[in-house]
Amino acid sequence: MTKEISRRSFLKGGLAAAGAVAASSLPLPAAVKGATGEELATLIDIRKCIGCEACVEACQEVNEPKFPEPKKPFPKMYPSRVKVSDWSDKRDVTDRLTPYNWVFIQEATVTVNGEEETFTFPRRCMHCQNPPCADLCPWGAARKLKNGITRIDSDICLGGSKCKAVCPWHIPQRQTGVGLYLDILPNFAGNGVMYKCDRCYNRIEKGEIPACIEACPEGVQKIGPRDEIVKEAHAIAKEINGYIYGEKENGGTNTIYVSPVPFEELNKTIEKGPGRPGLQPVKDSMAHADNLAKAMIIAPVAGIAAAAGKFYSTSKKMTRSEEGKK
C-alpha cells in the first residue's frame, strides 16, 4: 500500500466527515462575490488531495434535487440508434461520471525520484472558456454563463448527446425516460436528458461556494476570478517546479489543475473510458469554427428533418391502416 493510500484510508472516516459536516454554507470570498459577470475559475492542487471523496458525497447531497426521476417503462425509440442509458438503479456508483454522479476521484500511480507515489484528484466538467458542448448544442440547452459556468438546462435538453460527442473529455452523461422528449416526440427525439457538473450555479447565485470546494477537508480546490487563479497556479508551479492542466487545453478552461508531475505521466496510469475522462493534450476544438459552425447549422435542421420525416411517414402509415379499417 502506498503512503498516500494508507493516509487516505486513515483520514477517510475522520477529517472528511468533519469537513463535510462543518461546512454547511460558507460564503463566497469577497473577491468572488464582487466578480459578477467575470469569469470564475477553480484551482485544483492535486498535491493536497487525500482521495477521501467528501467532495463527491457533498456534490450528490446538494444536487440531489436536480437528479433525474425517470418514468418507466421507457418509450421504444425509432430508429434504435439512440440507446437507452439508465443509471436510475445505479445511483450509488461513484467511481465514474454518471447522471447521478457529477464528480469522481481519479487515481494515478507514478514514479517520482525513483519512488512510487499515488496521486488522487477530483474530475468533473472543465467549464471550458469556449465550450463546444454549448456552441454546438442544436437546441440551445447547453449554455455558457457570464461567470464562466457551462450548464445544461434539463428543461430544454432532448438528450441527443451532441454535447458529449463534441466535448474533448466526453463529460455529459445521459439518463433516459426523463425530459422534454417524452412530451413532444417520445419515440423519435434524443432519448433523455444530459447531466454534468453545473459548478453549483444556484449556490454561486446566492453567494455560496460550490459544495465540493466547501466540503473538502484539505482545501484542495479554490474558486476565484480566472486571472487570479491562473496567476496562483503559475506561482505554485514555479515553486514546486510543477505543471498546469486546463489553462490552454481546449483553448482554455475554467478548471486549472496544478501537479508536481507531468500530466502526460498521470494520464498514462489513470483508468480511462466511458465516464472516466483522460488528461490528454487537447487542442482548441472551436478553432475550426468554420467546420463546426456548418455542423451546428446543419445538425438541428437535419435532426428536425429526420424527426419530422419519420413522424410524417409513421402518421401516414397509421392513417392508411385506419383507412383500411373503414
Which residues bind to ligand SF4, rule: CB under 6 A?
16, 49-55, 58-59, 63, 102-103, 105, 122, 124-128, 131-133, 150, 163, 167, 169, 171-172, 196-200, 210-212, 215-216, 218, 220
CA 186 from chain centre, in angstroms, equals 26
Residue 212 contacts residue 43 (beta carbons within 8 Å) = no
Rounded to 5°, the CA angle 90-95-101 comes to 60
The DSSP secondary structure of 180-240, one letter per residue, reads: THHHH-TTTS-SSEEE---TTHHHHHTTB--HHHHH-TT--EEEEEHHHHHHHHHHHHHHH
CB of 239 to ligand SF4, least distance (A): 20
CB of 177 to ligand SF4, least distance (A): 22
**Of 82 and 103, which CB lies nearer to ligand SF4 in the complex structure?**
103
CB of 97 to ligand SF4, least distance (A): 10
User: What are the beta bridge partners of residue 104?
Assistant: 123
Distance CA 164, CA 181 (A): 18
**Of 82 and 97, which CB lies nearer to ligand SF4 in the complex structure?**
97
**Of 70 and 131, which CB lies nearer to ligand SF4 in the complex structure?**
131
C-alpha cell at 136: 454546438
**Of 100 and 243, which CB lies nearer to ligand SF4 in the complex structure?**
100
Q: Cis omega before residue 210 (within 30°)?
A: no
For 322, the 3-state DSSP assignment is helix
- Please report where in the chains the cell 448544442 appears, as a residue: 137
CB of 158 to ligand SF4, least distance (A): 16
**Of 281 and 309, which CB lies nearer to ligand SF4 in the complex structure?**
281
CB of 288 to ligand SF4, least distance (A): 14
**Of 170 and 307, which CB lies nearer to ligand SF4 in the complex structure?**
170
C-alpha cell at 86: 439508465
Distance CA 301, CA 294 (A): 11
CB of 180 to ligand SF4, least distance (A): 20
Rg (CA), the chain: 22
**Of 157 and 307, which CB lies nearer to ligand SF4 in the complex structure?**
157
CB of 146 to ligand SF4, least distance (A): 15
Beta-sheet pairing, 142-144 with 150-152: antiparallel
